[in-house]
Copies of this chain bind each other. A is one copy, B any other.
Amino acid sequence: MHWLRSPIWWDERMAFPPDATLTDAGEFGLISALTDVFTQGEHVLIGPGDDAAVLRVKNGHVVVSTDLMVEGRHFRREWASAEDVGHRAAAQNLSDVNAMGGRATSLTIGLAAPADLPVQWALDFARGFADECALVGASVVGGDVTRSDQLVIAVTVLGACTQAPVVRSGAEPGDVLALCGRQGWAAGGLAVLGRGFRSPRVLVEAYRRPEPPYDAGRLAAEAGATAMIDVSDGLLADAGHVAQDSGVSIDVQRAAFEVPEPLQAVGAALGADPLQFILGGGDDHALLATFPERSVPEGWSVIGSVAAPGPDGPAVTVDGAAYEGPTGWVHF
């Protein structure tokens, strides 16, 4: 780990001119400047600056997940501020722990960046990232910075559960499918940005700064969720992962969704069915889970049902039929 290694350049940071690039700052200049942004929780026994961090762990286990964000593919600097990208990068990873029924405690950041990236961008990114982590009390404990042609952000999150983790493979015929959190708003915002618009503002903001329901994962686990996933690939695509892993079929009911007004407006403006943002969108990091019928906790909406698979195996249907629209995101 080359992050936050040494205090020798500390004073130089103060002297960064406003247009300084990563080349001007140098590796250790950047690292020192970033250090200052991240505060360490009490569970951090050895924080940034050594070959590795050392964290206190309770309950004898750790939950771990990794995600990549590539500029031009997962974000655009012209569509979101550095701070927004920081919020999103953190939210995406915190949400993976949420989807196991756990809570994040610690994260590492790998930042591969062009030499002409403004130092200010990196600092604002770090600030947004730290602010999002603060929502669940997690600390950034280390990372790595290096030069690349394209901006790539690699985040690893560690966390813990207070009860058995909720996996994707536990859904049972007879369960209901339920959703918690905003869904489709970020996809609507992305569609708008892609057409060169900046409104409806509330959707653009939802894309820039998702608001995952960070407490809902643990509460769902305690309420007896049988399977859970965070909606990151798209609602139907992620329902498909649950169906496949659980060996069940899932039907989603269109009537379960009240299409919010801003999405209706975008649908009308773009000539698209606004429900497609809800069924195919993934950037809100809502939670999707299955529960025994009478166990759905407060704050969740029932949106479908679970049945034994048909003759062709596990499948996801919408109102009992195959869905023709886009179900989610394709990575290659």
Additional pairs, 18, CB under 8 Å, beyond known A1-B96, A51-B230:
A1-B67, A6-B240, A22-B332, A25-B332, A50-B100, A51-B228, A52-B99, A54-B61, A54-B161, A56-B60, A64-B156, A67-B110, A68-B145, A73-B148, A112-B152, A147-B331, A149-B150, A156-B156
Find A109's partner among B27, B66, B74, B168 (CB 8 Å cutoff): B66
Contact of A175 with B by CB under 8 A: no
Contact of A265 with B by CB under 8 A: no
- A24 — nearest CB in chain B belongs to which residue? B332
Rounded to whole angstroms, the CA-CA distance of A61 and B97 in the bound complex is: 18
What is the oligomeric copy number?
2
- A165 — nearest CB in chain B belongs to which residue? B54
Chain A contact residues, CB within 8 Å of chain B:
1-3, 5-8, 22-23, 25-27, 30, 45-46, 49-58, 60-68, 70, 73-74, 96-97, 99-100, 102, 106, 108-112, 115, 141-150, 152, 154, 156-159, 161, 165, 167-169, 228-230, 232-233, 240-241, 244-245, 330-332
Find A241's partner among B5, B109, B146 (CB 8 Å cutoff): B5
Determine which residue in A6, A156, A168, A230 has the highest number of CB atoms from chain B within 10 A of its CB, and name it: A156
